[in-house]
């Protein structure tokens, strides 16, 4: 158990809908990262937050947004969903920068 | 920007065979280097890490040495087991604005009895 909790584990939704994925980082970790894993694209970095502030942005679509709350949990919002958004979404956390990150079990999103 | 290149897979080995998975990187400065493993249906787990040149990371019989002169961090294990079957990812973390983890494409290892 990495200490990073993601909910839900599985999500099935229709095209055009909006979903929210939730992540609770390990106790004491200030950085939260979101990654998308698909068969054809591998692990793609989406966004990083540090202590509530956005720190780095990767290949995150405009339809996607995220935030980190004062209690350090984070949410990833995906809207106007398309079939191609079906993937595993991972959250990871770390104490600070340039340190190892610990991953949650992921949320498997299926868009039908 | 930073990047990680892993050898193409998949790799299939017999139990007790020697394993080497190649990983090279491109980064400015002195990144930290990591190997992660993903077992079927699970998230990524940190396998080992090295934070400076010539450091050797090791865990569960796996080893990797941070080679700055060749910008490499190859993963090795002397004798693989069926339970090592998984996907292996090489990753790096830079400094400052590049502190996010950048991953290679991953390689699937299958070990047959």
- Among the ranges given (A2-6, A95-99, B37-41), the one the predictor scored with the smallest mean pLDDT: A95-99
Option in B43, B45, B94 nearest A98 (CB): B94
Given an 8 Å threshold on Cβ–Cβ distance, is A43 in contact with B103?
A: yes
Average pLDDT over residues B54-69: 96
Q: What is the rounded average pLDDT of the residues A85-108?
A: 91
Pairing status of strand B86-93 against strand B101-103: antiparallel
The 10 Å Cβ neighbour count of residue A32 is 30
The pLDDT value recorded for residue B29 is 82
Chain B residues touching residue A89 (CB < 8 angstroms): none
Contact between residue A104 and residue A92 where contact means Cβ atoms under 8 Å apart: yes
Is the model's pLDDT at B96 over the cut of 80?
no
CB-based contact A97 B93, cutoff 8 Å: yes
- DSSP E strand boundaries for A1-112: 5-7, 10-13, 19-24, 31-38, 42-50, 53-57, 64-68, 74-78, 87-94, 102-103, 107-111
Tell me: pLDDT of B61 over 70: yes
pLDDT reading at A98 higher than 80: no
Chain A residues touching residue B98 (CB < 8 angstroms): 56
């Amino acid at each position: 158990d990495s200490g990073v909790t993601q909910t839900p584990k599985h999500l099935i939704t229709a095209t055009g809908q909006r979903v929210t994925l939730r992540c609770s980082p390990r106790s004491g970790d200030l950085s939260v990262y979101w990654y998308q894993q698909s068969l054809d694209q591998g692990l793609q970095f989406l966004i990083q937050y540090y202590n509530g502030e956005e720190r780095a942005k990767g290949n995150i679509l405009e339809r996607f947004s995220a935030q980190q709350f004062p209690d350090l949990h984070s949410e990833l919002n995906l809207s106007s969903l398309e079939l191609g958004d079906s993937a595993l979404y991972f959250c990871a956390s770390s104490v600070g920068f340039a340190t190892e990150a610990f991953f949650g079990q992921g949320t498997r999103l299926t868009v039908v | 920007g930073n990047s990680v290149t892993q050898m193409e897979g998949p790799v299939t080995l017999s139990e007790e065979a020697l394993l080497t998975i190649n990983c090279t990187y491109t980064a400015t400065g002195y990144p930290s280097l990591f190997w992660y493993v993903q077992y079927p249906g699970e998230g990524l787990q940190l396998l080992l890490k090295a934070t400076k040149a010539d450091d050797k990371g090791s865990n569960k019989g796996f080893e990797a040495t941070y080679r700055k002169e060749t910008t490499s961090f190859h993963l090795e294990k002397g004798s693989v087991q069926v339970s090592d079957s998984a996907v292996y990812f090489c990753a790096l973390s830079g400094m400052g604005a590049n502190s996010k983890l950048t991953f290679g494409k991953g390689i699937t290892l299958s070990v047959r009895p």
